C-alpha cells in the first residue's frame, strides 16, 4: 500500500547497499522506524519474512530459491509493470513462508465474511470477465465495511493495492496454498506482512476497490495451489471448500 517515505529512508538505502544479506526487519530496527518496501533495492531486502517466532515445519524450503517463472509476460502498461514487479519481489520470499506451514492443505475453509452463509454465495467460478478472462474465485457480497476473517490459519504473505482487485491481502496456509482476499475497503492498521493469523483474525473489511469499482461491495476470494518447489500455482474453486462458521 502507498505510504509516505520517512527521512530515515535514505539511511536504509545506504545500509541496504552495504549489507546485502540484511533483512528488511533488520533495517527497520537499525533506522528505528517502519519502512515501506523499496522496489529499487534487491527484492529480498524489500519484503518481510514470516514471523521467526514460529518454527519451520518444512525446513527444506528455508534455503530454497524459486526458479525463474514460466509466466513471463510483457507488461502492456505502467500499471501492469508495477504489478509484475511486485509479484517478482514477493516471489523471492515465498519459500520462507512455505517453510512455516504444513504439507497438507485445509480440507475446509471457514466462511471469511462475517454474517454470510455458504448457501448465500452464487457460484461465479469461471464466469466470463473483461479482456477474455475467466473469474478465478468466488464473490461474497456483504455491506461495505463488513469484517473479513482469514478462512484458514497461516501467514500474511502480502498486503498490496497494486492488484487488479485493488486493496488485497494474501495469506499462505498449509499445503502451500495462497488465499487471496481482494476488493477490500481497508485492512486493520495492526495487520502486518509476515504475521501469523488464525480463522479468528480480521484481515480486512468488505469494499469495492480496484476493478470492482461501481459494483456492490463484496469480497473476492481466490485460492491457489500448485508445485511449491517450482513456486507456480493454479486457481482452485473455493466454493466446494467453504463451510459456515457455526
Q: Residue 129's pLDDT band (boundaries 50, 70, 90)? A: confident
34-66 confidence digits (pLDDT tens): 333 332 223 333 579 999 999 999 999 999 999
pLDDT at residue 24 above 60? no
Give exposure, 16-48, as e/b (b: 16+ Cβ within 10 Å).
beeeeebbbeebeeebeeebebbeebebbbbbb
164-177 confidence digits (pLDDT tens): 789 999 999 999 99
Mean pLDDT of 110-136: 88
As a whole number of angstroms, the longest Cα–Cα distance in the chain is 55
Amino acid at each position: 500500500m502507498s505510504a509516505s517515505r520517512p527521512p530515515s529512508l535514505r539511511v536504509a538505502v545506504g545500509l541496504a547497499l552495504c549489507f546485502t544479506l540484511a533483512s528488511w526487519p533488520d533495517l527497520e530496527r537499525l533506522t528505528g522506524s517502519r519502512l515501506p518496501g523499496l522496489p529499487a533495492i534487491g527484492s529480498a531486502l524489500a519484503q518481510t519474512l514470516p514471523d521467526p517466532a514460529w518454527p519451520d515445519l518444512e525446513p527444506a524450503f528455508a534455503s530454497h530459491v524459486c526458479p525463474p517463472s514460466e509466466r513471463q509476460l510483457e507488461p502492456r502498461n505502467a500499471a501492469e509493470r508495477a504489478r509484475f514487479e511486485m509479484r517478482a519481489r514477493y516471489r523471492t520470499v515465498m519459500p520462507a513462508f512455505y517453510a512455516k506451514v504444513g504439507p497438507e492443505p485445509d480440507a475446509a475453509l471457514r466462511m471469511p465474511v462475517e454474517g454470510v452463509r455458504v448457501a448465500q454465495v452464487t457460484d461465479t467460478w469461471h464466469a466470463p470477465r473483461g479482456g477474455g478472462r475467466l473469474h478465478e474465485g468466488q464473490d461474497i457480497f456483504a455491506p461495505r465495511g463488513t469484517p473479513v476473517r482469514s478462512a484458514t490459519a497461516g501467514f500474511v504473505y502480502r498486503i498490496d493495492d497494486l492488484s487488479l482487485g485493488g486493496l488485497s491481502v494474501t495469506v499462505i496456509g498449509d499445503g502451500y496454498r495462497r488465499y487471496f482476499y481482494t476488493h477490500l475497503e481497508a485492512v486493520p492498521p495492526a495487520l502486518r506482512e509476515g504475521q501469523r493469523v488464525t480463522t479468528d483474525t480480521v484481515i480486512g473489511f468488505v469494499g469495492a476497490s480496484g476493478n470492482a469499482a461501481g459494483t456492490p461491495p463484496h469480497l473476492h476470494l481466490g485460492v491457489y495451489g500448485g508445485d511449491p518447489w517450482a513456486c507456480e500455482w493454479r486457481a482452485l474453486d473455493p466454493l466446494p471448500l467453504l463451510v459456515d462458521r457455526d
